[in-house]
Chain A
Amino acid sequence: MKILVCVKQVPYQGSPLEIQEDICWIRDHEDVAYCMNRYDEYAIEEALLLSESFPDTHVDAVSVGPERVSKTLRKALAFGAGHGIHILARSEKPLSPFETASLIASYAKKENYDLVFTGVMAEDDMQCLVGPMLAKCLCIPCQTAAIKTILDPHAKKITVQSEVEGGFYETSALTLPALVTVQSGINIPRYPALSNVLRSKSQKLTVIDAESLSANSEREVLSDISLPEKPDKGVILTGLPEEKADRLLTILHEKSLL
């Protein structure tokens, strides 16, 4: 079995976000810390859990982006992925989900993966598109927002329980090869084992120049990035914690909520 996990490097949630208007994205400067998209950590963990249950299963991690992305791929190796593939895209502009999916597809087409995992969405652009677009490019079935998977390699099927908005769980069986996008709650990502951490530092990554893969022109143009207009309906309580507590008590009491 060959499993591919798609991971994205995203700015760390607490990083200061400074707008760079010409690319409609955030400025890439030294104060911005990058990390692996949280949902992709669940995707890696799910792949590793399967590889531990079924011998002869290989887990590869792929990521698209500039030089710094190699750090996130090394994190995937530290978790336990066997091999990292870096699709090196030098563009300063963020890639659209369509561009990312077509780049990964043109690499993955030749590799015959049985299973592809992605996170349900990326924390930065919040699109939820790369997974299903990649599945469509590879002509394989897809299930989104998995919270449980059961693999049957002999029947060549994976059964996926998905979370559906409105408070439902939906169970589907997909014939392999298939792509599954992973929702939080499916597992608890492990701490990297020391042996894997050491291996990840020295292991070679496969680097593929994005320009060598079949390129697709962009279909959406970003413009006018800004801070959101605050509704400003809220009152910010000021003073010491004691004063704020007094004020809140009065407010809630006046509204007969207490």
Chain B
Amino acid sequence: MGTDILLFADTIDGTLDPLTIELVHFARKHSTFWPGKIKLVIPGADMADVIGVFSKKCGLEVVYLKTDKNLHRNTEIIGKELVDIISEEKPKTVCFLHTTRGCHLAASVAIEKEASCITAVQSIIRNKENVPVYERALFNGKLVVNVAPVKGMSVLTILAGAFSSSVEDITENDFQAKVDIRFVKHRMSNVETIDIKRAFDQEDNALSEADVIISAGRGIGNEDNLELVRELASIFPKSAVGGSKPVCDLKWLPYNRQVGATGRIVTPKLYIACGISGSQQHITGMKNAQWIVAINTDPHAVIFSYADYCIVEDLTIFIPIFIEKFRKQFRQTESPDDGIYI
């Protein structure tokens, strides 16, 4: 029996992409409109246990694409294997997570199978003709557009955070848990994966341990203004300074302080975004903070859509006023000396 929706999730360093659960939720939602069989493909080396647990948790049939060490990261080979699986299963829809690798595989598969390709899907819509239309953002979330596949197979990438990540309601009544092991057949490649390593020092846990994170974006203007951000952080106990990717690219902060999909995913009690416009990849990293305050001069900045408290001000004016008022009101002249990670 063929498959209607084929999902693909990655493994890296012995772990399954934590966003895989969102991919499964997307497929479940899709199949409430267009019922069909869902199958998940996961490549990896020595991943049998993890995959077994995930398959049971979701009640989902999984193809474990077993490779030698590091070969599962070879996008060329995994792409060829996927094309084989697609030719056998003939799915109507193939879904990846919206990561750079997910997009790479989606592009390869779409060209090979002459399919429609829609990335960063954030919502599914059933149109008048009862066919799926997918919503995606343009211009960093300033506009949204609906995209309809023309015909044949659709290849999608699913935006992080757009669908549920709850593990509670993921199991289906119709219990399909099963793992098929499939060994990689393709060997020839013009790409050789040499190594995979952690991008930054795991010792610096400031961002994961802090209760309060004050983050700087490119909108702080210049490196000297980081001092303002640090000073603001210093009035909160258990606080740390983070930053957006552009700030780390400029070397104003080290990469281990980068908040976002390619940096750290953080969940502090309070997140204060200073001069951050709110790129998709940054939002992914901080939107689950308990309280979010955003300070930005641009009232249309995307970050304000995610903030609980929005302050449209120049941070070089606002932060000094805020700190001064705090010191007056709380008679504090010194920084709290317990547990600061600045």
- Chain A residues near B (Cβ < 8 Å): 11, 13, 17, 19, 24, 26, 97-98, 101, 120, 123-129, 131-133, 135-137, 140-145, 159, 162-175, 178, 181, 183-185, 217-228, 230-231, 233-237, 241-242, 244-246, 248-249, 251-252, 255, 257-258
CB neighbours (8 Å) of B280 from chain A are 126
Give CA–CA (A237, B145) in the complex, Å.
30
A221 touches B199 (CB 8 A): no
Interface string of B296-310 (1 = CB under 8 A from A): 000000001111111
List the one stretch of B26-34, B37-45, B96-104 in contact with chain A.
Answer: B96-104
Which residues of B108-144 have CB atoms within 8 Å of chain A's CB atoms? 108, 110-112, 114-120, 133, 137-144
Determine whether B312 belongs to the interface, using a CB cutoff of 8 Å to chain A: yes
- Docked-complex contact A258 and B308, CB < 8 angstroms: no
> What chain A residues lie within 8 Å of B306 (beta carbons)?
231, 234
Stretch at the interface among B87-95, B172-180, B188-196: B188-196
Query: How many A-B Cβ pairs are below 8 Å?
Result: 244
Establish whether residues B321 and A141, one from each chain, have CB atoms under 8 Å apart when the complex forms. no
Knowing A218-B150, A233-B308, say if A163 contacts B317 (CB, 8 Å).
no
Task: Tell me, yes or no, whether B46 is within 8 Å of chain A by CB.
Answer: no
Q: Are A168 and B117 in contact (CB under 8 A)?
A: no
Q: Inside 8 A of A184's CB, which chain B residues have their CB?
A: 245-246, 249
B101, A168: Cβ atoms under 8 Å?
no
Interface residues of B in 140-155 (CB under 8 A from A): 140-150
CB neighbours of A174 from chain B (8 A): 190-192
Task: Give the interface size bracket for B toward A.
Answer: 35 or more
> In the complex, A162→B12 CA distance in Å?
14
Interfacial residues, chain B to chain A (CB-CB below 8 A): 12-13, 17-18, 73-76, 99-101, 103-104, 106-108, 110-112, 114-120, 133, 137-150, 189-200, 211-212, 235-236, 245-246, 248-249, 261-264, 269-270, 280, 291, 293-294, 304-313, 317-318, 321-322, 325-326, 329-330
B112 CB contacts on chain A under 8 angstroms: 136
**Secondary structure of the A side of the interface?**
mixed
Indicate which residue in A165, A228, A257 contacts B262 across the interface (CB closer than 8 Å).
A165
B108 near A136: Cβ-Cβ < 8 Å: yes
A249 contacts B325, CB within 8 Å? yes
Closest residue to B322 on the A side, CB-wise? Answer: A245
CB atoms of A168 and B309 under 8 A apart: no
Report B-chain residues with C-beta under 8 Å of the C-beta of A181: 100
Given A140-B190, A167-B198, A245-B318, A231 contacting B100 (CB threshold 8 A): no
In angstroms, Cα B140 to Cα A13, docked, is 9
**Are A142 and B148 closer than 8 Å at their CB atoms?**
no
Q: Report, nearest first, the 6 A-B pairs whose CB atoms are least far apart.
A: A132-B107, A185-B249, A128-B103, A141-B190, A136-B111, A175-B190
A11 smallest CB distance to B (angstroms): 7
Contact A164 B12 (CB under 8 A): yes
Contacts of B200 in A (CB 8 A): 167
Give CA–CA (A180, B146) in the complex, Å. Answer: 30
Chain B residues with CB under 8 Å of A165's CB are 99-101, 261-262
Q: Which of A136, A230, A242 contacts B107 (CB 8 A)?
A: A136
For residue A247, which residue of chain B has the nearest CB? B309
Do B143 and A26 have beta carbons less than 8 Å apart? yes
| Complex CA distance for A19 and B13, rounded to whole angstroms | 44
Contact residue among A11, A144, A145, A172 (Cβ-Cβ distance under 8 Å from B139): A11
Give the distance to chain A from B138, nearest Cβ to Cβ, in Å: 6
* Complex interface: chain B residues within 8 A of A252 (CB): 270
Quick check: A222 and B146 within 8 Å, CB to CB? yes
